[in-house]
Chain A
Amino acid sequence: MNIVWLLLIGAAVISGAVKGHMADVSNAMFSSATTAIELAIGLVGGMTLFLGLMRVADDAGLVKLLARALRPVFRVLFPDVPRDHPALGAIAMNFGANMLGLGDAATPFGIKAMEELQTLNPDKESATDAMCMFVTLHSSSLQIIPVMVISLRAAAGSKNPSETIVGTIFATAMSMIVAIVVSRLFARWFALRKKAGAA
């Protein structure tokens, strides 16, 4: 993350200098900072609502029930998380909301999942394998029906805006498999490296 962050800023400043876009770069700096805070504030409303709902579901034992139902899948994805742990229920709700395209609901559930995973974390500043797997899976875009893309296609006058759905589902499934395999391999590699370092 350190390297990528520096690369983004470094490339921006060099490119801004070479192409004479420095004023744009400077403006973008401050407007992006403002946008970031607006985004964070914008999340608060939905987050408060769904975290409240999540607690009700938790107190009613629904989150645990969900975790239990999905146990076979989660044993493979998150082997370090104890069975029936509330983290698994939150993860299930996050995946469910993402698949249905309910982004506003998905984020609070995902944050709840991260908080639950953090309770299992011995080193609070460093991500666990379960966290890495969970976040990486998001990169495969879990959404089944890409509503946003279909709307864009329709707006552009496509004869059949939803004809790309099958392809999208295929590509999402493939990248999901890659996400799982790559995360597991990295986890193993990091574990080996740590062992070698300790010895």
Chain B
Amino acid sequence: MRELANSASNWIVPLLILGIPLYAYAVKRVRVYESFIEGAKEGFTIGVRIMPYLVAILVAIGMFRASGAMDWLVWVIRPVVSWAGFPPEALPSSLMRSLSGSAAFAMSSEIFKVNGPDSFIGRLVSVIQGSTETTFYVMAVYFGAVAVRKTRYTLAASLITDVSGIVAAYVICRLLF
């Protein structure tokens, strides 16, 4: 399955890069080279535009991680989730997922090492990490790209979505494993 997924992503992009211009040129008579350059022009400006947004959010997250404040968050939430039967070992990496993908993956690896990837906790962590996203990064990049500062209810809705992903992961793991 993994090989399939990997080779699929190796094939799809090159095929798109050949297929789209080929169709455009042969069928629609598009000046493909000029068209490509025209679109590509924006690339750098967008990169520069998202910089302040990324710095703002990554600095806050970096400070938060380095300070060990995560322990407090875990300490506050822990009683609630233990009451529901959710293994507390899986909590820190799940909470970290919305903030930093690489940190969450590192914490998951640690859990795999300690509890084993085929333990209930290992499977639960796998499902959680696969079904949640680095919400803060996505928001910074996408809203930064269009310089929208007021994101209204996006963060609230995204965090509710993240929590629902964790809950759904827990429920399905209880049913499956």
8 A Cβ contacts from B9-61 to A: 9, 12-13, 16-17, 20-21, 23-24, 27-28, 30, 32, 35-40, 42-44, 46-48, 50-51, 54-61
Contact residues on B (Cβ < 8 Å of other chain), bracket: 35 or more
Verify if A36 is at the interface (C-beta below 8 Å from B).
yes
Verify if B148 is at the interface (C-beta below 8 Å from A).
yes
Verify if A73 is at the interface (C-beta below 8 Å from B).
no
Cβ-defined contact, B44 with A141, below 8 A: no
Closest to B99 in A: A8
Known: A141-B165, A156-B113, A167-B127. A36 touches B157 (CB 8 A): no
Verify if B72 is at the interface (C-beta below 8 Å from A).
yes
Verify if B128 is at the interface (C-beta below 8 Å from A).
yes
CA distance A172 to B166 in the complex (A): 9
Known: A125-B149, A127-B148. A146 touches B109 (CB 8 A): no
Verify if B84 is at the interface (C-beta below 8 Å from A).
no
Partner of A1, one of B23, B129, B132, B155: B155
* Majority secondary structure, A binding face: helix
- Within the complex, what minimum Cβ distance (angstroms) separates A16 from chain B? 4
Tell me which residues across on chain B come within 8 A of A131, comparing CB atoms.
142-143, 146, 148, 154
Cβ-defined contact, A132 with B36, below 8 A: no
Verify if B141 is at the interface (C-beta below 8 Å from A).
yes
Interface centre among A48, A53, A154, A167 (most CB of B within 10 A): A167
8 A Cβ contacts from A164-199 to B: 164-168, 170-172, 174-175, 178-179, 182-183, 186-187, 189-190
Tell me which residues across on chain B come within 8 A of A150, comparing CB atoms.
1-2, 5
Verify if A149 is at the interface (C-beta below 8 Å from B).
yes
Tell me which residues across on chain A come within 8 A of B36, comparing CB atoms.
52-53, 55-56
Verify if B138 is at the interface (C-beta below 8 Å from A).
yes
Verify if A43 is at the interface (C-beta below 8 Å from B).
yes
Tell me which residues across on chain B come within 8 A of A39, comparing CB atoms.
54, 58
Cβ-defined contact, B32 with A56, below 8 A: yes
Cβ-defined contact, A51 with B60, below 8 A: no
CA distance A41 to B48 in the complex (A): 8
Partner of A4, one of B9, B129, B155: B155
In the complex, per-residue mask of A34-51: 1 if CB is within 8 Å of any chain B CB, else 0? 011101110111011101
